[in-house]
Chains A and B, each alone.
Chain A
Amino acid sequence: MTGNRLPEAFEQLFIAEYPRVVAIANRVLANRHEAEEVAQEVFLSFHKSHDPQASYARPWLYRAASHSALNVVRGNKRRVVREVAGALPADAVSEDPQGIVEQQEQRHMVRQAMRRLPARSASVLALRYSGLSYAEVAGAMGVSVGQVGTLLRRAEARLRTEVTNATP
């Protein structure tokens, strides 16, 4: 499939950043398939509107990934019942069914918590726990590097509260 090549600079950006964009969306959705759908939309949207060599390209992609994924969890509550199927390693299912069930429940709670958290809190969690540095998180969120730690600290506390409150 090479007949519809996109601009070289864009394709290089895609190859370099697609895994990370998927990872960010996956951190919110806990579902690889949904995360890849979001990543496709993010890159398509970027391709239509922006210069791939723009300095803001990567921060834009990261931010769009987290926000688009949050839009998915917030906009389609029905999906939560099938949220983790795509995120689990195949061998884990056969090894420890009970563990898988517990993992599913935890991820369900976390995903629900991400849905309820303020957008900035959910975003900083998704970005940071996807492996972005503080500087990268700052760029994506449009804040100073010094603020990231504070946002992350608050978000982690809110996450704990949300999950604790949701635990039966």
Chain B
Amino acid sequence: MRHLNDGTLRRMQDEPLSTSGAEKDHYASCATCRERAMAIATEAERAAMLMALPEPEVETQAALNRLRRAAASQQAFRPSPWTSLKALFVSSSNRSVRPAAALALVLTAMVALVVTGVADNFVKVFEPQQFQAVQVRPESLRGLPDLSQFGDMTFSSTPTFTTVADAAAAQGKTGLNVLAPEGSALPSRVGGGRSYVVMSPMQATFTFSAAKAQAWATAHGKSLPAMSPGLDGSTLTVDAGPAVILVYGGSTDAINRAVGVGGGSKRAVPPPGEPSGTGPASTTDAPAPTTDGPPVSGNTAGAYDPTSLQLPDLAVVEMKSPRVNSSGASVQQIEDYLISLPGFPQDLAAQIRAIGDPTTTLPVPVPTGQQSHQVDVQGVHGLFVGDSTGLGSGMIWSKGGVLYATVGTLTESELAGVARSLH
């Protein structure tokens, strides 16, 4: 029999009963192995001394209570726009809800995707100046890997949504030059009053972890592409907001749900594997108290049903352009890795690869069957998404360091008229 390997000799120190009969026989007759075992034991004893620590005294019940509060708090206010987006896409295979899904799309892409950093993990965005539609099949997103399995996301500043009295209050809270459409540009069917919702700035970080990815792959029997050394440990910092959402008709509740904050009787519930951090900062955040009006986040748990989405007639969104910084990984490294993950739709990967300048172009996912094309608006290029019937459409563009979007139950020409009249 060959000499016992170091691993076997090491285990013999800790779990001698694990040794097989043949190994015991060899050990008893082999002076070389016994000598090696002694050296290994000495090293182990030294390591044990170094690693020695008093066992921490923990109060498990108190810790459980704390976790309950953290879980409840996180569910109550933490935005889960990725959930909303997934729900929208996955459920939009039902034609009856497609208008609602399409209507929410641009708003979601502008606010939710950027806020979560999910889109920014497909490409690195410093100051998105242009937008490009990428067609996605709703059913293909079911296999999309969860970002939380490939690193740690923490929110150092969680966005809160607050209704404010008027444009001046919104401007005062955000510093944005709040624009509104000309009354003459509004179609007569855009009814009801208007209201302003303010989103506070947010900051999130995502750190890639090859070890975490491998742990996930091992646990799920998957094979992952190797994470390059430059990507492993690299941190992306996403800053977004503040933002102002001007809502005509409908209810702010619909907007709240579209951006994933929750509200009314229904709210988004995180699905398994929703992006989340395991750093120490993300559970203790609390929504900032609001003074100008009622907070618009809801607390009632329940399944998010995209078919219940009752969006307003028109919403105008302004957001300070998001910035994404990387501690080391290049845009190409991030893009290459993420789109090569198992479950990532190949047709979507091809479209993302085809984007010319990923540092300034935000890919806007558009469900297959919806129209999208480039438009000229406010002197810059933008993107229109929707249909020609007026059931739902949206427009998004960037100008002067601010992202703008208009969404509503309007036709393209009506929406364009609203966008051009903003002042």
Contact = CB atoms under 8 A, between A and B. Distances in A.
Interface residues of A, number: 73
A59 B215 CA distance: 10
Interface string B3-27: 0011111110011001000000000
B299 to A, nearest CB: 11
B278 A1 contact: no
Interface in A119-168: 119, 123, 125, 128-129, 133-134, 142, 145-157, 159-160, 163
Interface string B107-144: 00000000000000000000000000000000000000
The list of the 10 closest CB pairs from A to B, nearest first, reads: A149-B7, A150-B7, A142-B218, A149-B11, A156-B47, A4-B72, A149-B10, A1-B65, A32-B56, A129-B51
Contact of A68 (B11, B219, B278): B278
Chain B contact residues: helix, strand, loop or mixed: helix
Contacts of A123: 211
A5 B18 contact: no
Interface string B249-290: 000000000000000000000101110111110110000000
Nearest to B8: A149
A69 B277 CA distance: 13
Contact of B64 (A11, A71, A146): A11
Contacts of B278: 38, 41-42, 45, 64, 68, 71
Given A67-B209, A71-B209, A49 B276 contact: yes
Interface of A: 1, 4-6, 11, 14-15, 18-19, 22-23, 26-27, 30, 32, 34-45, 47-50, 56, 59-60, 63-64, 67-68, 71-72, 74-75, 86-89, 106-107, 110, 119, 123, 125, 128-129, 133-134, 142, 145-157, 159-160, 163
Given A41-B278, A134-B14, A149 B6 contact: yes
Nearest to B65: A1
Given A32-B56, A48-B272, A150-B5, 13 more contacts: A1-B68, A4-B68, A19-B58, A27-B51, A40-B66, A41-B277, A43-B67, A44-B276, A107-B53, A110-B50, A129-B51, A148-B11, A160-B50
Interface stretch (B38-46, B178-186, B353-361, B373-381): B38-46
A134 B70 contact: no
Interface residues of B, number: 60
A38 B278 CA distance: 7
23 contacts: A1-B68, A4-B69, A5-B68, A6-B67, A6-B68, A14-B67, A18-B58, A23-B56, A32-B57, A44-B283, A45-B148, A49-B273, A49-B276, A59-B219, A67-B211, A68-B278, A74-B233, A86-B56, A87-B54, A149-B9, A157-B43, A159-B47, A163-B50
A125 B47 contact: yes
Contact of B219 (A15, A56, A149): A56
Contacts, number: 178
Contact of B55 (A5, A23, A86): A23
B217 to A, nearest CB: 8
B6 A4 contact: no
Chain A contact residues: helix, strand, loop or mixed: helix
Nearest to A33: B56
Interface string B201-230: 000000101011011001100000000000
B48 interface: yes
Interface string B68-95: 1111101000000000000000000000
Contacts of A19: 56, 58, 60
Contacts of A156: 43-44, 46-47
B50 A146 contact: no
